Amino acid sequence: MTNGITLREGSPYPLGATWDGSGTNFAIFSAHASKVELCLFDARGRRETARIPLPEFTHEVWHGYLPEVRPGQLYGYRVHGPYDPQNGHRFNPNKLLIDPYALMLQGDIVWHDAVFGYRIGNARADLSFDRRDSAFVMPKCVVVDPAVTWGADIRPHTPWADTIIYEAHVKGMTALNPDTSDRVRGSFAALANPKVIEHLVSLGVTAVELMPTQAFFDDRYLIEKGLTNYWGYNTAAFFAPATRFISPGGGVHEFKLMVRRLHEAGIEVILDVVYNHTAEGNQMGPTLSFRGIDNASYYMLGDDPRYYYDTTGCGNTVNLGHQRVLQMVMDSLRYWVEACHVDGFRFDLASSLGRDRQSFNANAVFLDAVRQDPVLGRVKLIAEPWDTGNEGYQLGNFPPGWAEWNDKYRDSVRSYWKGDEGLLPELSSHLLGSANLFDRRGRRPWASVNFITAHDGFTLADTVAYNDKHNAANKEDNRDGHSHNCSWNCGVEGPTDDPEILDLRDRMRRAMMATLLMSQGTPMILMGDEVGRTQGGNNNAYCQDNEMNWLKLDDLDPRDAEFLEFTRSVIALRKGRDVFHHASFLHKAPEGQQPIRVRWLRPDGLLMEPNDWHNPAARTLGMLVRDEPDILMLFNSHFEAVDFTLPAAATDLGWQMLLDSASGEVTPQGSPVRLPKLAVPPRGLLVLEETRP
């Protein structure tokens, strides 16, 4: 009996706070702690009602069982041990710590010097020691009853080759939706609204990739500037949903309801997850969880263990080489799949997850663990194939079973359509799933996640309206964000009323969207690109929780309404013709079948010769796909129309037009084209199909 509370030894497994229907088992890993105290709080999280030393230490796990503790109980930890930063240890029992396995948090961090393990402003910096209690400004963990009735939830299991991804933000998708109440806007519950899901269904996408939904906080320096961490790439707890996405009075079940509603509509849910670093930053950062629980185990430390080995640019790197840290990440991934029914993950800075410290290794312990896992082996896995460390850029080098964000596709397609020279070789490669990067070890075209835009960078509308970044709203004197945008303002920087420039911008974005959806590989569309969402030229809107980042679907400008219909039509065209999303590289075929052959054509209708590929001024290309029926795609990024001699079709009936990006016409049933020559419009893509007998 401790503080009037019955305490039993409990079990070292499972880790976290586990309600068994009778009481709650608490278990937390710390190899170097000397004592771990469980702290219980009242319902509002303001008063610590009990402080209980966990009685047992088994296999480096501290554990205890409390029969009286029920779901809803608020708790945290205080961990004792040496405060010795020069040897990698930063224990400070004055700091209330978040359970790494917490399934739910209540409250948000209130930035105060007390959350730091050292004395802010002290001459000894992080070697000093702060004795203030941080509990009054820390969120509290919540004991959760994970039981939920899923009913007949059926995962869509969309084949990779048929997948079309829509990158979205929970709040951004719902903050301006008039069909949801003010109480739930910006939440998981709002994303479950039928009207929100209806937009995704009518668009034709098959998966929504949600930007970080695991618990994160607003950084102190952003709060002090009146900004917020909108994107959320600064995770503090890997099992808990972000409290800002839970409506008042709601709970973790809101997330599960959202997943079920999307599944009912045939849409998969992919989570953007950040396991490469945490919100605790470098040695001068706060003590929120891992740092105070066992700094030397959870993080990769430098040659001088006072400092962190950082390959993320965020101050620290999670130490996946440690078996217990690896276990935590694997347990987290399985939790989101098994308990929350998500369908896949996009891994932020995934090169850091595949490191053996100095360099990337496709057989790194984490990548091997995921590959053999029977749960994770059946969901979609997407890597952001770079980090900030040595040899961090690893596009194409992830193992079989993984897809990868292909930024080379983005840069090449943007540059081609704005008229840059010498891009035909790159364009042709990317149109065929970037086989030079991905056609190895049995990988398929879908391994290339093709995108023109993503959350990081310009929107599609801004790509054709700005030459330069305009990030003043971020209050960093426009120094943040990259300057290599591969964009073109079409003659005027920013907004304009000039109809000729607006027409050209519309033509450019139609050409890029059509190219994306007609390319082999997995297309990814950024939320709002289909309706002309603009960030006013801000290419790093990570801290803008306002209409700059929010999706507006009502009262669309006529041009944007037309572009929405165009995007829907091109997606439908892609889905209606297998040749646009072939399961194999087009120069290959399943055993016993003839490969689909691709021929590259010059404007005179003849095959491209080596010198044609190396002509820097060449901006027109024909792509003939021998299939049943044949498909002909004609690309022209020149500012003038180019006459193209059509090749003879396999039938005597010639060709019919499926898509004209310049005019915006999409005709799935085809419209006849009988001329021996066809004028390919400036900045235009034509897609033709052999006329069926």
**Structure token pair of residue 58:** 């088994």
List 99, 310, 384, 560, catalytic entry: 384
Quick one: which H or E segment has residue 263? helix 253-264
**Structure token pair of residue 299:** 């993080």
Given a contact cutoff of 8 angstroms between Cβ atoms, the answer to whether 342 and 336 are in contact is yes
Whole-angstrom Cα distance, residue 167 to residue 446? 17
Given a contact cutoff of 8 angstroms between Cβ atoms, the answer to whether 468 and 484 are in contact is no
Whole-angstrom Cα distance, residue 454 to residue 407? 10
- Strand pairing of 631-636 and 620-626? antiparallel
- What percent helix, strand, coil does the chain show, rounded to 5? 25, 20, 50
Cα-Cα-Cα-Cα torsion 214, 29, 55, 75, nearest 10 degrees, comes to -10
Whole-angstrom Cα distance, residue 410 to residue 413? 6
Q: Which segments of 459-596 are extended strands (E)?
A: 522-526
Please state the three-class secondary structure of 387-443 as a single string. Answer: CCCCCCCCCCCCCCCCEEEEHHHHHHHHHHHCCCCCCHHHHHHHHECCHHHHCCCCC
Integer-rounded Cα radius of gyration of the chain = 27
Asked if 348 is an active-site residue, the reply is yes
**Hey, which residues does 599 pair with through a beta bridge?**
624
Whole-angstrom Cα distance, residue 75 to residue 16? 11
Place of tokens 């010498």: 422
Backbone φ/ψ region at 382: left (φ over 0), alpha (ψ -120 to 50), beta:
beta
**Structure token pair of residue 379:** 């969901």
**Structure token pair of residue 335:** 């939790």
**Structure token pair of residue 436:** 């030079």
List 167, 343, 348, 411, catalytic entry: 348
Q: At 335, give phi and psi (nearest 5°).
A: -60, -45
**Structure token pair of residue 618:** 């060449």
Given a contact cutoff of 8 angstroms between Cβ atoms, the answer to whether 369 and 327 are in contact is no
Residue burial 484-519, b: 16+ Cβ < 10 Å; e: rest:
ebbbbbbeeeeeeeeeebbebbbbbbbbbbbbbbbb
Query: How far is C-alpha 541 from the chain's CA centre?
Result: 15
Cis peptide before 178 (omega within 30 of 0): no
Please state the three-class secondary structure of 582-603 as a single string. Answer: CCCCCCCCCCCCCCCEEEEECC
Contacts of 526 (CB under 8 A, 6+ apart): 167, 451, 452, 453, 454, 455, 459, 460
DSSP 656-680: EEEEETTTTEEEEEEEEE--SEEEE
CB atoms within 10 A of CB 363: 10
Cα diameter, the chain: 92
Query: How far is C-alpha 434 from the chain's CA centre?
Result: 21
Catalytic residues: 348, 384
